[in-house]
Amino acid sequence: MNPETAVEIIKALILTSVTLASPILMTALTIGMGISVFQAVTSIQEQTLSFVPKALAVLSLIVVTLPWMVRTTLEFTRSVIEQIPQMVG
């Protein structure tokens, strides 16, 4: 395997990882910021108020996007496995 192939695989791996993680992270960030603003406005400092809605939102997003995530992961894995003969030869 030459260095260019390794770099391309690592680049694709990082891009796929960021693509899969970004919806979850953006959902958690958005919900967290909204709850933080709500807590600042109302002066409520309850820890479960920020955790429970965030956990529910992330869990529901994972349930909704799981088929897409599995399909994307399988496509990446298939492409890497298909490149194995070129890496060896």
pLDDT number for residue 88: 82
Q: Is 23 helix (H, G, I), strand (E, B) or coil?
A: helix
pLDDT surpassing 80 at residue 1: no
For 7-25, the pLDDT digits (tens) are 999 999 999 999 999 999 9
Between CA 23 and CA 27, with CA 24 as vertex, the angle to 5 degrees is 85
N-term to C-term CA, the chain? 8
What's the rounded Cα separation, in Å, for the pair 72 and 18? 12
Q: Are 86 and 5 in contact (CB under 8 A)?
A: yes
Residue 36's contacts (CB-CB under 8 Å, 6 or more residues apart) are 50
Question: What digits encode the pLDDT tens for the residues 34-83?
Answer: 999 999 899 888 888 888 999 999 999 999 999 999 999 999 999 999 99
pLDDT confidence of residue 46: 83
